[in-house]
Amino acid sequence: MLQTLMPSGSPSTSPPQSVAAAAVSIEQTAGRLDVLVNNAGISGRVDGDAQDPTTLDLDVVRDVLDTNVFGVVRVTNALLPLLLRAPSPRIVNVSSNMGSLTLQTGPVMAAYAPSKSMLNSITAQYARRLVDTQIIVNTCCPGYVATDFTGFAAPRTPDRVPRSRYGSQPCPTTGRAVGSSTTTASSPGEAQTGDDGRHWRPTLGLDRPAHPGWCRTALGRA
């Protein structure tokens, strides 16, 4: 919906007044917001060792953080009043396993990877703060997918995910592979594997399995 309201660019990369205008438009159109997916993200320049930690270009760090972290905060806070009007609101922040301090996957990118580490952390802080509301806050990792962002170099396309690859992507927050746990619902937040092999978390109160390759975390919900 936000893309429709703001065709010139993502709200996460737009000035604060544009984000506020989007909130007004949503209120006038729908009166509430059921789901917010913070999907905007940039990798930042990598030429000239710009993301080598020993020669790190701080302007690149600022640009990446402004979209990948500050943009998420900017949009989320502007839309919180509308989310609170929904019966079962959700916030999903799209992260990356490159932000995992345990996995340390992917190339060395000292602006992009830390931005996803911070996104994971800010997601946890939102979940803690909103634990007494109806809002559930999640983070997810779509994995390595052929898109503009990856230069279409990945073997997996957004519209085709082989069943054999369900559970192949680790959770960006915990480092646990999706579907690696088969604990019962009595263990809050633990992963469940359904009969069809799909991964889900009943403690989230969601009745659909996670998108293949995503890892839901029950942050803020027991």
Catalytic residues: 112
Sign of CA dihedral 75, 81, 86, 91: positive
- Strands 35-38 and 90-94, by their bridges, are parallel
- Strands 90-94 and 136-140, by their bridges, are parallel
Identify the three-state secondary structure at position 54. Answer: helix
CA angle 186, 93, 8 (to 5 degrees): 155
Determine contact, residues 219/182, Cβ cutoff 8 Å. no
220 is written with which tokens? 């803020």
Question: Cα(211)–Cα(126) distance, rounded to whole angstroms?
Answer: 22
Dihedral, 112, 142, 214, 23 alpha carbons, nearest 10: 80
> Any residues with CB less than 8 A from the CB of 195 and at least 6 apart, and which?
none
* Type and span of the H or E element at 137: strand 136-140
> Any residues with CB less than 8 A from the CB of 174 and at least 6 apart, and which?
215, 217
